[in-house]
Structure 1
Amino acid sequence: MFNAILLNKNEDGTTDATLTQIDDAQLPAEGDVTVRVDYSTINYKDGLAITGKSPVVRKWPMVPGIDGAGEVLASSHPDWKAGDAFVLNGWGVGEVHMGCLAQRAKLKGDWLIRRPEAISARHAMAIGTAGYTAMLCAIALQERGVHKDSGEILVTGASGGVGSVAIAILSGWGYRVIASTGKTAEADYLKALGAVDVIDRAELSAPGKPLQKERWAGVVDAVGSHTLVNALAQTRYGGAVAACGLAQGLDLPGSVAPFILRGVSLLGIDSVMAPKEKRIAAWDRLAADLPVAKIERITEEIGLADALSKAQDIIQGKIRGRLVVDVNR
């Protein structure tokens, strides 16, 4: 028996989330690698799953936790053997396949990547899907030709997990980063990560004109809706916007003007089903370019039992940075 967060669907459609004990027999039969999870984390999607605020979970019962890091216990997959250190991000884990907010998990070997030697299991989960997504965004901007001398980079949702890591990455690469946040009291925190200035999210969150004064060479957007539309409207000619989130909404209430009049590129960033080569490249860059000290600055560690209350906090926007879950306490 081992500890896990278990989600069940009530008759009225609400979600029942409890800390309980389950055994290996309850783990998915289709997994070919059994792992010991040392650390997991709570992302926004995990918060939605645990609270039931959005229909994230599509198979019941479910162990949430889209991220995990630890050690392989047993494997029938040719690429993995007992003792191997792994990192897992996404692939529908915690949605349709039992996840990593538990002391054990049974996963598909094709979903796992080898944890870089420079990154501990705890450090990997301090980065998590949020940080890995931030790196995918940063790489996408670089590949689109947005360089450190191109101009200012806007990061929206800056005090969240994606935003915090994006600031740390891009500032470390020499970019001039402007942070947008609704938590103006976090200005010192964001500047310590590398932001040169902080603006109130209210400047971007209301409906705006299709084209506005050009400012940003590039944007990392984790917010969507009007914020993304305004960011596009303010992006300079030939600039690029990497979109990876929906904190404000799924809608895109804008126009084609930035695309056809300024040649702006909208880059969709998917971290859930990204191919393995992209994942490995992103984690290699994270290991090389993201200082442990900056990650520690944005990290709060909690125990597995705390995940239930912290899931509510992350949905309500009360969390800054990253939540690391030690599943063994």
Structure 2
Amino acid sequence: MPETFKAILISRGEDKKQSVAVTELTDAELMDGDVTVAVEWTTVNYKDGLAITGKAPVIRRFPLVPGVDFAGTVISSSNPDWEEGDKVILNGWGVGETHFGAYAGRARVKGDWLVPLPDNMTARQAMAIGTAGYTAMLSVMALERHGITPNRGPVVVTGAAGGVGSVAIALLSRLGYHVIASTGRPAESAYLTDLGAAEIIDRGELSGPAKPLAKERWAGGIDAVGSHTLANVLSMTSYGGAVAACGLAQGMDLPSSVAPFILRGVSLLGIDSVMAPKELRLEAWWRLADELDHGKLAALTTTIGFDGIVGAATDIIDGKIRGRVVVGI
């Protein structure tokens, strides 16, 4: 009998309702690719929560193994860039959406989708960072490219207690920024302060309809929420500032006006982690290994086992997850 490994499989019936099951797969049932990886660690991101709960049409083919990122060891490769024993990370590229993903003992993918695990980072640490933390780093890099340095003024982070927000706060504070954290969970104030937030504001200040322009409060922002929250962040961004948009927890809409852009020269920077080019990925992971405080990373991380994935997916959609969840496969 061929060797099997545990996997989560999402299927959809003729009635268009999806179902989630834990099953056993073999290598022969994996999708096409030139590298096979033994998945050692993964994580539960907001997108994974949407996929498993069916709250949004993240999954575009059925049946599918969800899970948008993983870290592990190459066990076979026909790609010249990788050989057996290499430690690798994968984020995005449609994995967990159109291609079998991380919630299985093995994954077969294209070698071009992989990046090397940094020498000073473990596979577990890589997934404690995960797509959320990698997206936070891409957002920081975008603000830097736009000239938003610490001496320009404060930077606001929305959805602060979530995965992107938690890592963004830790990164920005380490780099010397004055970080304003916006959260709807006042009980997490001490947690956010420990990560490096200098100020904490209630998300209610940003979640209602925005004025075309409001009082200037920050030089830049990292927004994982979208909708009215992003509109308010833009309206309160100072002249020449910039906001990196990387999430949609409140919604995909943007009920704003052109006023911040044409009257204050504010820039809206779109952050895509799924199809980001390899050079950006390599820079982001190199900087995460070098610049993210490992003590803070440990403080914002909870570890669960494979059997906890489905429950964590529901919790993250319900706003019950703080920081990052890492999964030992």
**Fold match (TM-score > 0.5):** yes
Corresponding residue of 2:293: 291
After superposing the two structures, state which structure 1 stretch, 104-113 or 12-21, moved more.
Answer: 12-21
State the AA in 1 paired with 2:47: K
Does the residue aligned with 2:143 lie in a helix, a strand or coil?
helix
- What CA deviation, in whole Å up to 9, does each residue of 1:236-273 have, x standing for no partner? 00000000000000001110000000000100000000
One of 138, 144, 147 as aligned partner of 1:145: 147
Percent identity reads 62
Q: Per-residue deviation at 1:20? A: 1.5
SS at match of 2:38: strand
User: What is the CA distance between 1:70 and its match in structure 2?
Assistant: 0.6
TM-score by length of 1: 0.98
User: Once the 2 structures are TM-superposed, how far is the Cα of residue 147 of structure 1 from its aligned partner?
Assistant: 0.5
RMSD: 0.6
Structure 2 partner of 1:25:
28
**1:78-97 pair list within 5 angstroms:** 78-97=80-99
Q: Distance in 1 between matches of 2:15 and 2:311?
A: 22
The residue number in structure 2 matching 1:106 is 108
1:1-28 deviations in Å (ceiling 9; x for gaps): 0011111112322221112111111100
State whether structure 2 residue 10 is matched by structure 1 residue 3.
no
Q: How does 1:101-180 map to 2 (within 5 A)?
A: 101-180=103-182
Runs of 4+ in structure 1 displaced over 6 angstroms? Answer: none
Task: Figure out how many residues of one structure are paired with residues of the other and give that number.
Answer: 326
Q: Which structure 2 residue ranges, 5 or more long, are not aligned?
A: none
* 2:323 is the counterpart of 1:321: yes
Deviations 1:121-158 (A, max 9, x none): 00000000000000000011111000011101000000
* 1:200-239 equivalences in 2 (<5 Å): 200-239=202-241
The one-letter code sitting in structure 1 at the alignment partner of 2:27 is D
What letter is aligned with 1:263?
G
Superposition TM-score, scaled by structure 2 size? 0.98
Q: CA deviation at 1:211?
A: 0.1
Alignment correspondent of 2:314 = 312
SS in 1 for 2:206: helix
Whole-angstrom distance in 2 between the partners of 1:298 and 1:191: 12
Q: Which amino acid aligns with 1:322?
A: R
Note the alpha carbon deviations across 1:245-304, whole angstroms, 9 max, x for none: 000000011100000000001000000000000000000000000011111111011111
Distance 1:309 1:238 in 2: 43
Return the alpha-carbon distance in structure 2 between the equivalents of residues 12 and 199 of structure 1.
Answer: 44
